[in-house]
Homo-oligomer: A and B are copies of this chain.
Amino acid sequence: MAGGTSTPGATVVSRALSVLYAFDNTHRRLTVTEVARRADLPVPTTHRLLRELVAGDALVRGDDGRYAVGRRLWDIGQLAPERTELRNAASPFLSDIHAATRATVHLAVRDGFEVLYLDRLSGRASVPVVSRTGSRLPLHATGVGKVLLAHAPEEVRECVLAGRLRRLTAHTVTHAGLLRQQLDGVRRDGYATTTDEMTLGACSIAVPVTRPAPADNTPAADPDVVAALGIVVPTLKRARTRLLTALQVAAQGIARNLQ
């Protein structure tokens, strides 16, 4: 404890976590320098932490000298109740919807100002999508995102509406007033749709998954929207009603599994 600074342990753990959190979906393999910059740590400290994390199987070092997340963290991550309970409750319903439609099926939650995809089923015959399990996309441009944004706390919604709505295709809704109307519609109708807004040639329809209020709760309490369930197809034209029914039945089933 020489120097009288804060507990060395506290500092080391938070620094080690900063090193782990330097990795994300678009930064999966990083050099020491890149980790140091992204974790905001000196290079020698970063180097020592990386060596320790590799020794402890949390990270791996590739032949090219770059670091990546190790399989042991995948194993540990699978134990996170906040992610896996919802995923396990939803899994058989996702499989059933995919088996019935062969379309891409998504289970997603809101994580801050983004959609986080908790699970995705997609066969070779499904329309190509950019999402994959663990990936993040903007809230305003996807079906599951619009559902989650419509049911987000008002301050989150207003913040997104006040910010820049990134244009991903020529069809992305980037006008705040129009998006606001759509979100009102999602809450009123109980579902969201998109047409070519995230990826050209991909339409989506999505519904909320709610955690039912406990029996002893005030009946007037709003049900909690804990996730969104969506499907991506080449066109919604003829299939809209059928897909919506399948999603609503599945969402109710997932909600029952969550009780």
Contact = CB atoms under 8 A, between A and B. Distances in A.
A99 interface: yes
A255 B95 CA distance: 23
A23 B82 contact: no
Interface in A169-208: none
A115 to B, nearest CB: 13
A235 interface: no
Contacts of A69: 76-77, 79-81
Given A48-B9, A99-B102, A124-B93, A29 B76 contact: no
A5 to B, nearest CB: 12
Interface string A102-143: 100000000000001000111111100000111000000000
A14 B56 contact: yes
Contacts of A88: 132
Copies of chain A in the complex: 2
A103 B81 CA distance: 26
Given A23-B76, A77-B69, A98-B99, A56 B9 contact: no
B81 A96 contact: no
A108 to B, nearest CB: 13
A240 interface: no
A69 B54 CA distance: 20
Nearest to A70: B80
Given A70-B80, A75-B83, A88-B132, 4 more contacts: A8-B8, A17-B57, A17-B58, A75-B134
Task: Give the 3 A-B CB pairs with smallest separation, nearest first.
Answer: A77-B77, A78-B134, A13-B52
5 contacts: A17-B57, A17-B58, A73-B77, A74-B78, A98-B99
